[in-house]
Chain A
């Protein structure tokens, strides 16, 4: 129902907020459907990062939308046809939760039965993500990298000069500053935990990168970007993002040159399980670094536009 509310609203600020709530609700549903990792990501990304980015955009573009002059008939027709096709498609689909559904029969059982034995991580999502289908994840890392490049190409990051007057946007909010100061170490610590605990529980490089970045973004919002950029200069972040991707790819290349297949972590150590562990650790680290750096870059890119007319 949030979705409907979101389309009726013409105040875009409310739309974005409702979209955030929708994401959070979706995350709840994912949780219900046993997808803890996905729920975690959706909450961090959909409800967190996306909302912040959308709000930064709204600051630059204005809050209200005009009433559209187009007739809604054609879009309505397209949507109805598409929806009908989808419903038609589900008519022969296996029912929700049916353990006999073909999706659970063919490829998936091996992951569940031998994932622990072959890869050595109890979290099967991590096992599939980083090892069985590790190549997809390399692709995913590059998608993030590409997005970072694209934002860089479009907006550029002008280094923030710290003596600018709005460098300390919230001078009078002493309590807020204190709370944030306490909160940030906790956020960063949690980020580290998520990074290195992905083998056993929900989490992994992607979520950790986002959380870690959130910590810094929070700091930037309260104490001004200039302070953050002194620690994390944009050109350094670009290199860091590149390093993350290269670390992932490098692991793949090392296994290739050791005579195995690309991304065959068994080659990394004498014992295959140890190799898998090492491989997953390294690639998750690569993902984490890359995501962290790109999220920071994107954030800087949007926020450095704020000062300009």
Chain B
């Protein structure tokens, strides 16, 4: 029973992760795909941070009370990963803006139809 409680947190995170992943692969709108990607990544970050939690721990900033601290390493990794995620998102959005200019649409179906047309001539 205890183990189910202890892992339950991970499972919620996994559920969120898969929601995002589903949006990425199932949705046709490019903006929504990026939102899905963001959800997916944010949930992976949660997974990492959960990993760093220590029962009864405190934020890893040393103070006078010499307490139990949570593990700082996952925090550092995720700080980096968040930045990488935003950077990717910004590039993705810039691409969407250009795609809108070039194709007049941000729906996958439209774009692929245009591309197939271009391929066949």
Contact B73 A122 (CB under 8 A): no
Within 8 A of B (CB), among A16-39: 16, 19, 22-23, 26, 29-30, 33-38
Given A38-B82, A200-B61; A93-B7 close (CB under 8 Å): yes
Given A41-B82, A79-B22, A202-B61; A34-B52 close (CB under 8 Å): yes
Could you list which residues of chain B lie within 8 angstroms of chain A, going by C-beta atoms? 2-3, 5-7, 9-11, 14-23, 25-29, 31-32, 34-36, 38-39, 42, 45-46, 49-63, 68-80, 82-84, 86-91, 93-98, 100, 106-107, 109
1/0 per residue, CB under 8 A from B, across A199-210: the answer is 011100010000
Choose among B36, B50, B79 the residue that contacts A96 (Cβ–Cβ < 8 A): B50
Choose among A34, A36, A62, A147 the residue that contacts B106 (Cβ–Cβ < 8 A): A62
Contact B22 A7 (CB under 8 A): yes
Contact B94 A61 (CB under 8 A): no
**In whole Å, how far is B114's beta carbon from the nearest beta carbon of chain A?**
15
Q: A38-B78, A86-B14, A87-B11 are in contact. List 11 more A-B contacts (CB 8 A).
A: A3-B39, A30-B45, A34-B53, A54-B93, A65-B31, A93-B10, A111-B73, A112-B69, A112-B71, A124-B69, A137-B80
Contact B95 A125 (CB under 8 A): no
1/0 per residue, CB under 8 A from B, across A137-150: the answer is 10110011011001
Choose among A33, A115, A124 the residue that contacts B49 (Cβ–Cβ < 8 A): A33
Complex alpha-carbon distance, A45 and B9, angstroms: 24
Complex alpha-carbon distance, A46 and B14, angstroms: 19
Nearest to A204 among chain B residues (CB) is B79
Given A23-B42, A108-B73; A35-B59 close (CB under 8 Å): yes
Contact B94 A65 (CB under 8 A): no
Given A78-B25, A79-B25, A103-B52; A128-B72 close (CB under 8 Å): yes
Q: Is A298 an interface residue (CB 8 A)?
A: yes
Residues of chain A with a CB closer than 8 A to B107's CB? 65-66
Residues of chain B with a CB closer than 8 A to A129's CB? 76, 79-80
Contact B61 A50 (CB under 8 A): no
Contact B87 A144 (CB under 8 A): yes
Complex alpha-carbon distance, A47 and B58, angstroms: 25
**In whole Å, how far is A292's beta carbon from the nearest beta carbon of chain B?**
14
Nearest to B9 among chain A residues (CB) is A96
Contact B75 A37 (CB under 8 A): yes
**In whole Å, how far is B102's beta carbon from the nearest beta carbon of chain A?**
11
Complex alpha-carbon distance, A103 and B48, angstroms: 11
Residues of chain A with a CB closer than 8 A to B26's CB? 68, 70, 72, 75-76
1/0 per residue, CB under 8 A from B, across A154-198: the answer is 110000000000000000000000000000000000000000000
Contact B19 A3 (CB under 8 A): yes
Contact A46 B42 (CB under 8 A): yes
Residues of chain A with a CB closer than 8 A to B106's CB? 61-62
Choose among A60, A115, A147 the residue that contacts B97 (Cβ–Cβ < 8 A): A60
Residues of chain A with a CB closer than 8 A to B2's CB? 95
Residues of chain A with a CB closer than 8 A to B59's CB? 34-36, 202
